[in-house]
A and B are shown apart, each in its own frame.
Chain A
Amino acid sequence: MRSSYRPDRPSLFLRIGAFAGLAFMHIPVLLIILYAFTTEDRTYQFPPPGLTLKWFSRAFERSDIWQSLTLSLGVAACATVMALILGTLAAFALARAKFPAKDSLTVLFALPIALPGIVTGIALLAAMKLGGIDPSFFTIVAGHATFCTVIVYNNVIARLRRLPSNWVEASMDLGADGTQTLRYVLLPQVATAFLAGGMLAFALSFDEVIVTVFTAGKERTLPIWFFNELFRPRDRPVTNVVAVIVIAVTLIPILLAYYFTRPDDEHETAR
């Protein structure tokens, strides 16, 4: 039996460091939300001289924003579907099997995240130039699907590895065949990780700019629209409003993903 020993209470220094660090991470985002309502439209003056809602209605009238938003949602949807298929297949293949090339494959499926995005971007561009492929909706999706696959793969394989291996054996011993084991044992366990991976992949794709700049050509996803605005800020209030919209669109899938994969109490008891 282990006593419920608690190492000393956190020192004041540690507590200040932790909460100040957390505040540091949130202040810029909160500030952007505040700026979307400021009446000042030329400078980044702080504090805002007054608050207004008029920039929202102005942003909603802009057809270029709507076009970019639709394109981004379309790309994210296609890339997520591809990533869910490819990532889940790869995770099921590599979760338990042992075969010679396994380590190299694990590295291969980590590469698009381990290497900087610009490498993926310029590599795709180089390939498109060599192959004479023009940038289009499909080249954007191809780039996004590559790193989104890694996100889904990571989520699903982490869940599969936590699954006790004797569950599958128990299911087979009880007379289930392979498809029944998949249907009644594996899939229900993996479902939430699959959904979480899909949510994160969608959020990542919707927000991606580093790779997209190289593969998009003349197409303008919402992040590319935003990226261009950063260099010639002629309509700052509208940019602020779009920032708030982007935060809202990505926040929902991320919170859902957290809800699906939130740490349960098992590591609490394991300690």
Chain B
Amino acid sequence: MNLRAASTFFYRRPYGYLALLLVPPLLWFGTVYLGSLFALLWQSFYRIDDFTAQIVREPTLETYKQLVTQPANVDIVVRTLTMAVAVTIACALIALPIATYMARYARGRMKAFFYVGVMLPMWTSYLVKVYAWRLLLAKEGIIAWVAGKLGLMSVLDALLAAPGIGGPSLSTSYLGMFIVFTYMWLPFMILPMAAALERVPGSLLQASADLGARPAQTFRNVVLPLAVPGIAAGSVFTFSLTLGDYVIPSVVGAPGYFIGMMVYTQQGTAGNIPLAAAFSVVPIVLISIYLAIAKRFGAFDAL
């Protein structure tokens, strides 16, 4: 059969053409990816025998019971969730001026400068950025140095002495971890937010100004509501990425565990795959709930 005949054949039978295209990616995603997810789910219904430390391969809800009844485990979930919410809010606040400027004011070269300026750190090696923050937050590192030069050492010490967020140094405190998370996911908030703001028609702003609104009023009452889908889309990334990360909590060490670290430790040194699997179901559930909420704010229209 020659190519031309084949292409006509498939043009007349769009479903055959679709099947031809879809079979390889579907085979891959269906077996490797979905198959793995089901394997994970399956293992979370196994349990580990307390005495022999062997995995008992019979379906049980024992592991989930352990997850929701042990206060230490509940603490981990609450701690991770709190961090994810705090990071999402901080990212939205810092991203707003950057996204507004690059989408609504910057033109030509300046606009390209801002877009490249946001994309470069976003795609720079994840581990290198985490490592950089280790240097920044260290006791003798650059933040302490700048604080010392500006005579702000007492402010830094007061922050570190604060209960809950403080610690011996920034590199071993929840405050430090919060800064690193916010830094890492900021570009993921800026880009969808800027995309949403790009789509606000100029005529709306003109109308608002014609009707006597000051720029600040226009921003609050016209631009901000229209940016909400972008913020919602960005928050899906900041929320999801924080929930699942285990590198940042282990490198910027605060005493408490996070979900990702728990999964990592349980499958590794502890050898408790069922509990690791059950723990990794937690972010899946939380993100599903979050996606449902974000969808109501139009997150998917802004992606």
Contacts and interface: CB of A to CB of B under 8 A. Distances in A.
A179 interface: yes
A200 B119 CA distance: 11
A90 B244 contact: no
Contacts of A243: 125, 128, 131-132
Contacts of B39: 123, 126-127, 129-131
B120 A86 contact: no
B267 A122 contact: yes
Contact of B244 (A117, A125, A262, A263): A117
Interface residues of B, number: 99
A2 to B, nearest CB: 7
A46 B147 CA distance: 12
A118 B127 contact: no
A21 interface: yes
Nearest to B283: A116
B247 A250 contact: no
Interface in B181-204: 183, 186-187, 198, 201-203
Given A7-B205, A32-B135, A24 B112 contact: no
A43 interface: yes
A200 B123 CA distance: 9
B298 to A, nearest CB: 16
Interface string A104-140: 0100110110111111101111110111000000000
B126 A21 contact: no
Contacts of A145: 28
B287 A114 contact: yes
A79 B118 CA distance: 26
B154 interface: no
B153 interface: no
Contacts of A267: 198
Contacts of B37: 119, 123
Contact of A2 (B94, B120, B203, B251): B203
Interface stretch (A50-58, A62-70, A206-214): A206-214
Interface of B: 3-4, 6-8, 10-11, 14-15, 18, 21-22, 24-26, 28-29, 32-37, 39-40, 42-43, 94-98, 100-102, 104-105, 112, 114-121, 123-136, 138, 140-142, 145, 183, 186-187, 198, 201-203, 205-206, 209, 215, 218, 236, 240-241, 243-247, 250-251, 260, 263-264, 267, 273, 276-277, 280, 283-284, 287, 291
A29 B132 contact: yes
Contacts of B138: 43-44
A176 to B, nearest CB: 10
Given A25-B117, A130-B42, A85 B277 contact: no
A271 B126 contact: no
11 contacts: A10-B104, A18-B97, A28-B133, A89-B21, A116-B283, A117-B244, A123-B36, A130-B42, A177-B7, A210-B247, A246-B127
Contact of B267 (A14, A18, A31, A214): A214
Interface of A: 2, 5, 7-11, 13-18, 21-22, 24-26, 28-29, 31-32, 35, 43-47, 85-87, 89-90, 92-93, 97, 99, 105, 108-109, 111-112, 114-120, 122-127, 129-131, 142, 145-146, 149, 153, 177-179, 182, 200, 203, 207, 209-210, 213-214, 223, 226-227, 230-231, 239, 243, 246-247, 250-251, 254-255, 258, 262-263, 267, 271
Contact of B100 (A14, A92, A120, A123): A14
Contacts of B250: 231
A24 B277 contact: no
Contacts of B247: 209-210, 227
B10 A178 contact: yes
A105 B14 CA distance: 17
Contacts of A182: 7
A2 B273 CA distance: 64
Given A47-B145, A86-B28, A93-B21, A32 B42 contact: no
A179 B102 contact: no
A126 B36 contact: yes
Contacts of B251: 230-231
B132 A178 contact: no
A13 B203 CA distance: 24
